[in-house]
Structure 1
Amino acid sequence: MRTKIIRVAEGKQSTLSQLYIDGIFQCYLLEDKIREVKIPKQTAIPEGNYTLRRNTWGGMNAEYRQKFPKLHKGMIEINGLPNFSFVYIHIGNTFKQTAGCPLCGFGFELVNGDYQVLRSKDAYQMIYPKLLAIAQGNEKGISIENNFQF
């Protein structure tokens, strides 16, 4: 699988992951807590194999088109998730900003028992073109696995 999210740590309400493309570390990702029973907009994506696609019709497109006029060609959506829809890789720093989506960052910190990602906008601008190329290419697969290390 070309694109992989590996979860490495859990906070009280947060989950920290690493994003790899072709086996090379790209950035950290932050999600909500992993839950047995899904709570809308407050639950991490289940482990599994999914696809990436470019979404040009979701509500975040206008906001990102304005924020990144030269970069944005549509949101990068993780598609094929059970009981989830409109799950985008986007910018933000804390689990309160995830709404069930992974947030990207170039670093992380643990604050009051929960992880936060840092320099999210910078990380997004770096990974977006790579993820867009994957979403528009032939090998669109993305795997999500738990491998908690700390």
Structure 2
Amino acid sequence: MKFGLKVIRIRQGNNSTLSEIYLDGQFICYGLEDIPREKKIPGSTCIPLGTYRLGFNRDGGMNGNYYDRYPKMHRGMIEIKDIPGFSYVYIHIGNTHKETAGCLLVGTQYVFQQGDYRLVQSITAYKKLYPLLAEFMAAGNVFIEVTE
């Protein structure tokens, strides 16, 4: 099994989970998700710990929006595949847990405000991570490991 992306959860807010994201062992950016829950609430529950395959999803409105925003870079939404009970889980731009929809957000920095973590410079982090990860994915199977 070939790993590429590692998400290490480091802090928990009232409604947010902060992580560090590494690509091939190198720190790339911070990540933000919803909180863990014993019973999944769609769009408000973080990704379960585990290892999952990454793939491109070229369907849907979000894919079209990102293609319009980043036509030279975008090859499809990076989707975290085969998560039991989850679907359409992407790595994308956003700053707060309210923007996750159950997905993994990225940012270059973070702040802690009113009991929750918030990402800063999400677009900058996405523009750094996406082409690196897309190139990695084009070369073969890439997996994401979500751990604590």
Superposition TM-score tier, normalisation by shorter sequence: over 0.9
2:41 aligns with 39
The Cα of 1:143 is off from its aligned counterpart by 0.5
Please give the per-residue CA displacement for 1:41-89, whole angstroms capped at 9, x wherever unaligned.
0000000010110111133111101111211110000011011111000
| C-alpha contact (below 8 Å) 1:48/1:145 kept by paired residues | yes
Partner of 1:55: 57
Return the letter of the residue paired with 2:119.
V
Q: CA deviation at 1:124?
A: 0.3
Number of residue pairs the alignment of both structures matches? 146
Q: How does 1:50-89 map to 2 (within 5 A)?
A: 50-89=52-91
Work out whether residues 53 and 136 of structure 1, in 8 Å CA contact, stay in contact via their aligned partners in 2: no
Name structure 2 gaps, 5 residues minimum. none
Query: What residue is the counterpart of 1:136 in the other structure?
Result: 138
Q: Residue 116 of structure 1: SS of its match in structure 2? A: strand
Unaligned runs of 5+ in 1: none
**Residues 113-128 of structure 1 correspond to what in structure 2 (within 5 A)?**
113-128=115-130
Residue 106 of structure 1, CA deviation: 0.1
The aligned counterpart of 1:17 is 19
Matches within 5 A, 1:95-114: 95-114=97-116
Take 1:95 and 1:3, find their aligned partners in 2: how far apart are those partners?
21
Q: Relative to structure 1, is the Cα distance of residues 2 and 69 closer, same or farther in structure 2, using a 3 angstrom cutoff?
A: closer
Post-superposition Cα deviations, 1:28-49, rounded to whole Å, max 9, x if no partner, equal: 0000011111000000000001
Name the amino acid aligned to 2:141: E
TM-score, normalised on structure 2?
0.95
Give distance in 2, aligned partners of 1:86 and 1:29. 17
Q: 2:73 & 2:25 partners in 1: Cα distance?
A: 24
User: Post-superposition, which runs of at least 4 consecutive aligned residues in structure 1 deviate over 6 A?
Assistant: none
Shift of 1:90: 0.3
Whole-Å Cα distance in 2 between the matches of residues 92 and 49 of structure 1?
23
Residue 140 of structure 1: CA displacement?
1.0
After superposition, the CA RMSD in angstroms is 1.0
CA contact (8 A) 2:54 2:141 kept: no
